Amino acid sequence: METLATIWFVLIIVLWMGYLFLDGFDLGVGMLMPLFSRDERQKRVLLNSIGPVWDGNEVWLVTAAGATFAAFPHWYASLFSALYVPLTLCLLALIFRAVAIEYRGKGHTPAWRSFWTWAMALGSLGIAFFVGALLAITSTGLPLNEYGDMVGGAFAWIGWPALLGGLGGVGFALVHGLLYLGLKTEGPMRAKARRWALRAMLPASVPFLIWFWLAGLTRFWLLAVVAVSVVFLTASVRAVRAGAEKRAFTFHVIYLVTGLSAVFAAVYPVILPSTLNPAHSLTVTSASSSEYTLGVMFVVTVIFLPIIIGYQIFSYRMFLGRLRETHIPEAHRLPVAIRS
């Protein structure tokens, strides 16, 4: 029981990592839409660089939430109801981001395009902030009563962890998006992505580093994990400087994965601490589903997750190659309504 529940805890953290690793760069590119690009053509390079893959990436979030519901219903119920207000805002952000990507190119007035550009940017910003905040909060805890419900009103979740996680999420996504653009574009945009990444990387990583560091302080061996994380961040910066974009991107992912591992290893076996009374904290065993359900879901996941990763890799391979501005065709104008 405890083993299976622990495996599920690890799997859910892996799903969240997968989400940040993949949709993270979509969010970064989304935030960069209004300011990074000089003109319409560059904006469309940004949009099309994530066009074929962003929706598949977002499913990692859907799966993380669904798996939490299935494997740890109490975790899902306590966390989601406590974060009622921020998750409402996050949902609105998710709605605007998705619709912006699909609809921006389907209208042709400057006002239409600029509206959806900003909807995409602010939507991406909101998602990155609230997902980061949610992860930080689930590691530091909420004022939960004996039923697992947050007391203290709609805003009792606000505090430094939410801020740190939120800013950290935004910073991570921004850098991740720049590194992705370095991999995915050609010409002036590629050079610009590199310049921006070099400037942004260290300051944008500070909030996550503080969060990782505080987790590392709890146990000696975790400090070593956090140290590894820091080493990979520095290595990523150096790779950017050297123009080794693939390495920079990979190291940035390893930095995230090691850092988050340290954070969630530090709280284990608690998965949602109560800041009021440790007895009210949710743990892997107290919050989990039955062994049968965990087992069924484990079998399903073991079979399907490799298949999913397989066809997502196939999808990325199909769209391998760099985009340049000259690839982007003339904007496709809707013909005037056919009427006499």
Q: Pick out residues in 208-267 that bind other proteins (CB under 8 A).
A: none
> C-alpha distances in angstroms, 305 versus 9, 28, 60?
16, 25, 11
Using CA atoms, how far residue 132 sits from 24, 123, 149, 216, 274, in Å, is: 11, 14, 21, 18, 19
Residue 12 Cβ, how far from other proteins at the closest point, in Å?
10
SS3 assignment for 144-193: ECCCCCECCCCCCCCCHHHHHHHHHHHHHHHHHHHHHHHHHECCHHHHHH
Q: Which stretch binds other proteins (CB under 8 A): 176-184, 221-229, 257-265, 288-296?
A: 288-296
Residue of 40, 114, 146, 151 interacting with other proteins (CB under 8 A): 151
| Alpha-carbon gap, residue 304 to 302, rounded angstroms | 6
* DSSP string computed for 113-133: HHHHHHHHHHHHHHHHHHHHH
Provide the mask over 88-127, with x wherever binding to other proteins is found by CB under 8 A and - wherever it is not. x--xx-xxx-xx-xxxxxxx--------------------
Q: Which is nearer to other proteins, 13 or 240 (CB)?
A: 13
Tokens in use for 217? 């302080």
**Smallest gap, in angstroms, from Cβ of residue 154 to other proteins?**
5
Write the binding mask 54 to 73 for other proteins: x where contact by CB under 8 A, - elsewhere. Answer: xxx-xx-xxx-xxxxxxxxx
| Beta carbon of residue 245, minimum distance to other proteins (angstroms, whole number) | 22
Kindly state whether residue 317 participates in binding other proteins, applying the rule CB under 8 A. no
Q: Which is nearer to other proteins, 74 or 176 (CB)?
A: 74
Count residues near other proteins (CB under 8 A): 86
